[in-house]
Amino acid sequence: MTPVQKLGTEYGNTLYVKREDLIPFSFGGNKARKAALFFDEIDNGDFDCVVTYGSSSSNHCRIISNMACRRGMPCLIVSPEEASIPTYNSQMMELFGAQIRTVPVQDVHDTIENTLSELREQGRKPFFIPGGGHGNTGTSAYVECYEEILDYEKENGIHFDFIFLASGTGTTQAGLICGQLLHNDEREIIGISIARKNPRGRDVVLDSVRDYISGTDIRDMVSPADIERRTVFTDEFIYGGYGSSSAADTINNVMKKYGIPLDNIYTGKAFDGMKRYLEENKIFGKKVLFIHTGGTPLFFDFLNKEGIK
Ligand SMILES: *Cc1c(COP(=O)(O)O)cnc(C)c1O
C-alpha cells in the first residue's frame, strides 16, 4: 500500500499524489509493482533465468535486473542501440550483472526470439517478461493499485473526480480502468501519452483492458461502449516523442515546492500535461489524484543535463 499525499490547491483543483515512487525496492515505481507479480510467477514456476527488453533509461530493466540479481538468477536484456546512452538506470543494470545485448531497433524482436531459443537449447529455462511489464500480469498489478485508491477514499471520506498518470505501454492505465470496471464506479482516468500517438496509443490500452476483462467474471456485463468511454489517452503533450519534453520548469517547481522528484521522460511530462489538460478543459474545484509512477533515477539524469539553469 503506497501513501497518498495531499499537496493542496494546484491549478484551481485539490491535488493529491499516490506515491508509487516510494515502493520500497530499487527506487520503486510502477515497474516495481508489476515486477513483484512477475517474480511471484517465476518463484512458483520452474525457471532459471530472465529475459526482458528495454532502453538504457528503462526503469523496468533496472527493477527486473535487481530482482533477478537478488535471486542469483541471470538476467538478459535486449536493448535498442538507438536509445543506449548511459544513464543511472543503465549503470545500475551493470551493477546487478545484467547481460545487455544492444541491437538496432528493427532487430529487437528477432534477437529476443533467438536469445530465448539459444537458452532453451543450452538446457536453460528462461522466463520472458515483455518490455515495461506489459500483459495481464502487469495489468493486474494496477487493478490492485486501484483497490488501494478505493480504500483510501473510504477511509478518508473523499472521492477523486480525476486520476492522471503517465501512459507508455498503457498497462498501468489499463489496470486502473479494469479496476474501475470491476468495481463499477465513476471518475475520469486520463492517460497522458509520453510517446505514442493515437490511434495506436489508445488502441493498445483498449486491447489490454479487453484482454484482462475477458478473463474475469464481469466479461459479459461490460459493454464495448463502456470500455471505449472510459479509455481516455491523450497524445497532445508528447512534444517530440520519448524522452523529449519541455517539462523542466514543472520538474524544478514540484521539487522546490513539495520535495517530490519528477523526471523528464514520464512523470514530469505527465504532470505538465495534467496542468495543461485541467486548464484547457476549464476544470476547477475538483479532487485530482496524480499517480507518481516512479523513475527517480531519471530525475538525477535530468539534474545532470538540464536541471539547474
Ligand atoms: C514505464 C513507466 C510509465 C508508463 O507505464 P506503462 O504501464 O508502460 O504505461 C510511467 N512512468 C514511469 C516512471 C515509468 O517507468
> Ligand 1 pocket: which of 172, 265, 299 to mutate (most atoms <8 Å of CB)?
172
Query: Does 58 contact ligand 1 (Cβ within 6 A)?
Result: no
Kindly compute the dihedral angle of the four CA atoms of residues 118, 123, 124, 129, in this order, to the nearest 10 degrees.
50
- The amino acid at residue 181 is L
Ligand 1 atom 4: residue of nearest CA: 168
pLDDT digits (tens, 9 = 90+) for 55-80: 999 999 999 999 999 999 999 999 99
Quote the ligand 1 centre to 293 CA distance (angstroms): 6
Strand 4-10, strand 99-103: pairing: unpaired
Helices (H), the chain: 30-44, 59-70, 88-95, 108-121, 136-156, 171-183, 200-213, 224-230, 248-258, 267-280, 296-302
Query: Does 169 contact ligand 1 (Cβ within 6 A)?
Result: yes
> CA nearest 100: which of 52, 59, 132?
52
Looking at residue 83, what is its pLDDT?
83
Residues contacting 99, CB < 8 A, separation 6+: 74, 75, 76, 77
Yes or no: say if 164 and 277 are a contact pair by the CB < 8 Å rule.
yes
pLDDT digits (tens, 9 = 90+) for 157-193: 999 999 999 999 999 999 999 999 999 999 999 999 9
Residues contacting 91, CB < 8 A, separation 6+: none
Looking at residue 245, what is its pLDDT?
67
Yes or no: say if 8 and 14 are a contact pair by the CB < 8 Å rule.
yes
pLDDT digits (tens, 9 = 90+) for 81-133: 988 899 999 999 999 999 999 999 999 999 999 999 999 999 999 999 999 99
Query: Does 267 contact ligand 1 (Cβ within 6 A)?
Result: yes
Quote the ligand 1 centre to 120 CA distance (angstroms): 30
Kindly compute the dihedral angle of the four CA atoms of residues 188, 193, 198, 204, in this order, to the nearest 10 degrees.
-80
Question: Collapsing DSSP states into helix, strand and coil, what is residue 31?
Answer: helix
pLDDT digits (tens, 9 = 90+) for 24-34: 999 999 999 99
Yes or no: say if 189 and 163 are a contact pair by the CB < 8 Å rule.
yes
- Which ligand 1 atom lies nearest to the CA of residue 142? 7
Q: Per the structure block, which three cell numbers stand in for 58?
A: 528503462
- The amino acid at residue 111 is T
- The amino acid at residue 279 is E
Q: What Rg, from alpha-carbon coordinates, does the chain have?
A: 19
Question: Collapsing DSSP states into helix, strand and coil, what is residue 129?
Answer: strand
- Binned at pLDDT 50, 70 and 90, residue 309 comes out as low
**Cα 160-162-163 angle, rounded to 5 deg:** 95
Instruction: Count other C-beta atoms under 10 Å from residue 262's C-beta.
Output: 29
- Which ligand 1 atom lies nearest to the CA of residue 295? 13
Query: Does 137 contact ligand 1 (Cβ within 6 A)?
Result: no
pTM for this model (two decimals) = 0.96
Quote the ligand 1 centre to 233 CA distance (angstroms): 14
- Burial label, 176 (beta-carbon count in 10 A; 0-12, 13-18, 19+): buried
> Ligand 1 pocket: which of 169, 176, 205 to mutate (most atoms <8 Å of CB)?
169
Quote the ligand 1 centre to 132 CA distance (angstroms): 7
Cell match 509493482: residue?
33
pLDDT digits (tens, 9 = 90+) for 8-49: 999 899 999 999 999 999 999 999 999 999 999 999 999 999
Looking at residue 243, what is its pLDDT?
67
Looking at residue 121, what is its pLDDT?
98
Quote the ligand 1 centre to 167 CA distance (angstroms): 6
